[in-house]
Amino acid sequence: MKSILSYNVNGIRSAINKGLLDFLAEANPDIVCFQETKAQFGQMHEDEFEAIGYHCNAFSAVKKGYSGVAIFSKQKPDRVIAGIGVHKYDSEGRVLRADFGDITVINAYFPSGTTGDIRQAIKMEFMVDFKLYLTELRKTRSKLIISGDFNICRLWIDIHNPERQQGTSGFLPEERDWFARFIGDGYVDTFREINQKPDQYSWWSYRANSRANNKGWRIDYHIVTSDLKDKIVDAGILPNVRQSDHCPVYVKMDF
């Protein structure tokens, strides 16, 4: 059994101050994928994570205090590769890959399009380029686990009040169409294999008491290639963990 946790921490140092290490020590996942670390390697209190058993690998944005991803794992990866070979994304620290035997874990932090047309266009370009990157990778590494913040609600039941959100970045028809094609190309949304209920969210706006009223979005995922579908044991969301405006999502696999 291997447990993998994905968590957009909205600043890893801030999350540590809010009890992140205590949560991890108790939850004890085998692999943790953090997004939006907002820190350079060496600034993430790596020694404290190492003290509770984790090997630390990170890919930070060139711009300090922005974006960034990290994979912390109990087992040392056989190989770690940062980026997808496209500078405009790699300079923002958006994708980190770690190989464990024949399993590849990819931590992805999709751009947000909420600040306007320019960033929305970059987001749409990233979605195309990321899919091409995965297609090429699958030629040599067929067993992929893609964890992270996709900044897209995949299904109608993955967002509160979907009727009114269709013009909002993160729930645009073209974003959901991309996600549908992505899943159709041999990928599995692990959470929806386990749980078909509505109102299951992983992010809430800080405005209008959204979290208390559970007016949220499910934008954090563990997506696996279809050859790993029979290995899914459990998947879930931990909405009561509150070091960020996101909460952790997990998958348990039988390896």
The set of catalytic residues is: 149
Q: Which of 223, 127, 208 is nearest to 160 (CA)?
A: 208
Check residue 4 and report its DSSP letter. Answer: E
In the block, residue with structure tokens 């059994």: 1
Q: Which of 98, 163, 177, 64 is nearest to 131 (CA)?
A: 177
CA atoms of 68 and 123, how far apart (whole Å): 16
Tokens for 43? 């600034």
In the block, residue with structure tokens 């992929």: 144
CA atoms of 34 and 29, how far apart (whole Å): 12
Contact 123, 89 (CB under 8 A): no
Cβ-proximal residues to 71 (8 Å cutoff; 6+ apart), any chain? 31, 32, 33, 34, 57, 58, 77, 80, 96, 98, 105, 107
CA atoms of 202 and 33, how far apart (whole Å): 15
In terms of phi and psi (left: phi > 0; alpha: psi -120 to 50; beta: otherwise), the region of 186 is left
CA atoms of 216 and 250, how far apart (whole Å): 18
Tokens for 193? 């294999």
